[in-house]
């Protein structure tokens, strides 16, 4: 018996030549917001720390301001938190994703049927 196939549109957006936003970066930002750590976020997603840091840095550079702020370690420990920009990126992406999925119902159903 075939199980219903979930179909979801997860867009990748290019803003000019310097900014690319897609599900991987959004998931990483969301994980940083939840864990308050780039290292913990990377681990939770199965991504090497260096790759996670480079993805965040590419957003920081592309927007010209940070999406994640970091604090160095020490007695109180380090950490990371989303800036207002980082929170806005997640919110805008989530709204766009929901809108695309809602408006593409007929096409998504056709793809679902092809999989069954």
Q: Enumerate residues 6+ apart whose C-beta is below 8 A from 2.
A: 116
What is the predicted pLDDT for the residue at 1? Answer: 45
What is the average per-residue pLDDT within 51-69? Answer: 96
Higher pLDDT, 100 or 2: 100
Percent of the chain with pLDDT over 70: 90
The backbone torsions φ and ψ at residue 7, rounded to the nearest 5 degrees and listed phi first, read -125, 130
Per-residue pLDDT, 43: 97
The tokens describing 3, both together, are 């199980």
- The pLDDT confidence band at residue 115, using thresholds 50, 70 and 90, is confident
Q: Which helix (H) or strand (E) holds 99?
A: helix 84-103
Q: Predicted confidence band at 31 (pLDDT cuts at 50, 70, 90)? A: very high
Which residue in the block uniquely carries the two structure tokens 């919110």? 91
Contact 5, 112 (CB under 8 A): yes
């Amino acid at each position: 018996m075939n199980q219903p196939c979930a179909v979801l549109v997860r867009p990748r957006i290019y803003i000019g030549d310097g900014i690319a936003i897609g599900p991987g970066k959004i998931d990483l930002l969301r994980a940083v917001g939840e864990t308050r750590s780039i290292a913990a976020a990377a681990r939770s997603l199965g991504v090497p720390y260096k790759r996670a840091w480079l993805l965040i840095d590419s957003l920081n550079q592309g927007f010209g301001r940070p999406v994640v702020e970091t604090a160095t370690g020490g007695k109180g420990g380090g950490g990371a938190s989303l800036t207002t920009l980082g929170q806005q990126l997640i919110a805008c992406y989530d709204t766009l994703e929901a809108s695309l999925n809602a408006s593409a119902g007929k096409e998504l159903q056709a793809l679902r049927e092809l999989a069954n």
